[in-house]
């Protein structure tokens, strides 16, 4: 991917303490306007945009220097929004959703056709609901679904604090919401529920043994 210039000077990016009055509304307004922001989650800080804005999704790839064949996950505020981003939810996936959402479990499901093609280059999408009230409030205010991936350039260590995310992405994002250090500090577990056989694609805070034990 061709290296691009940051769209803003670094000091254009605002660091917003999560408890500061208006911080959530300000960040959500930036995302609704098509800009990239950084939000807190229960795993790592994430660079985020409106999941249904293809230009903004492309901007995430540019900001991270991320290959287009590496899909971007979707974070939801509420389970009622799930069928806006996936075509169906297999019964096995329902079990894990009930057990682990909100939380650090990302589930691969069949992608809804209304999602921008830029989200993934295949027929599936990675989805979860984070266990972070600030992150969910922002997602809800944006419309319920955001494309979110770790707040760093590809190949860098992901940010688990807002100042670190600001350092990595100043000039690419317009706001970074600071909710303190991420409690897990590690990427979520990924479970593929698109086929007949369940597959753990990445082990994170939830172990393979814990997932297989609830079936």
Within a domain: 167 = yes
Within a domain: 144 = yes
User: CB 124: neighbour CB atoms within 10 A?
Assistant: 19
Within a domain: 8 = no
Helices and strands of the chain, counted as H and E runs: 7, 10
Whole-model pTM: value is 0.95
The string of DSSP codes covering 1-33 is: ------SS-GGGSEEEETTSTTHHHHHHHHHHT
**pLDDT tens figures, 155-193:** 999 999 999 999 999 999 999 999 999 998 899 999 999
Within a domain: 85 = yes
Within a domain: 9 = no
CA angle, residues 55, 112, 200, in degrees to nearest 5: 100
For the cut 60, the answer to whether the pLDDT of residue 1 exceeds it is no
Report the interhelical angle of 133-142 vs 23-32 (nearest 10°). 40
**Predicted local distance difference test score (pLDDT) of residue 214:** 54
Within a domain: 119 = yes
State how many domains the chain has: 1
- Residue 190's Cβ-side half-sphere holds a number of Cα atoms within 13 Å equal to 16
Q: What residues make up the domain containing 89?
A: 14-213
Peptide bond into 40 cis (omega under 30): no
Q: Identify the CATH number of the domain in which residue 181 sits.
A: 3.90.870.10
DSSP 117: G
Give the distance from CA 95 to its chain's centroid: 22
| Torsion of the alpha carbons at 205, 210, 211 and 214, rounded to the nearest 10 | -150
Q: Report the DSSP pairing between strands 199-202 and 145-150.
A: unpaired
Within a domain: 4 = no
**Predicted local distance difference test score (pLDDT) of residue 22:** 97
Q: Which of 81-90, 147-156, 178-187, 204-213 shows the lowest mean pLDDT across its residues?
A: 204-213
Within a domain: 3 = no
């Amino acid at each position: 991917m061709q290296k691009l210039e940051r769209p803003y000077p670094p000091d254009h990016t605002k660091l917003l303490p999560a408890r500061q009055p208006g911080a959530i509304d300000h960040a959500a307004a930036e995302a609704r306007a098509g800009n990239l922001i950084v939000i807190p989650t229960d795993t790592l800080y994430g660079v985020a945009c409106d999941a249904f804005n293809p230009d903004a999704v492309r901007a995430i790839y540019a900001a991270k220097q991320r290959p287009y064949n590496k899909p971007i996950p979707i974070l939801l505020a509420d389970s009622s929004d799930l069928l806006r981003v996936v075509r169906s939810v297999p019964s096995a996936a329902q079990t894990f959703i009930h057990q682990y959402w909100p939380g650090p479990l990302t589930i691969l499901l069949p992608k809804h056709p209304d999602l921008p093609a830029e989200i993934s280059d295949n027929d599936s999408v990675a989805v979860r609901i984070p266990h972070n009230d600030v992150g969910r409030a922002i997602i809800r205010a944006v419309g319920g679904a955001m494309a979110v991936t770790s707040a760093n350039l590809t190949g860098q260590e992901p940010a688990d604090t807002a100042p670190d995310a600001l350092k990595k992405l100043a000039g690419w994002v317009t706001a970074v919401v600071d909710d303190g250090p991420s409690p897990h500090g590690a990427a979520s577990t990924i479970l593929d529920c698109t086929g007949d056989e369940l597959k753990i694609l990445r082990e994170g805070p939830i172990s393979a043994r814990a997932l297989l034990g609830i079936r």
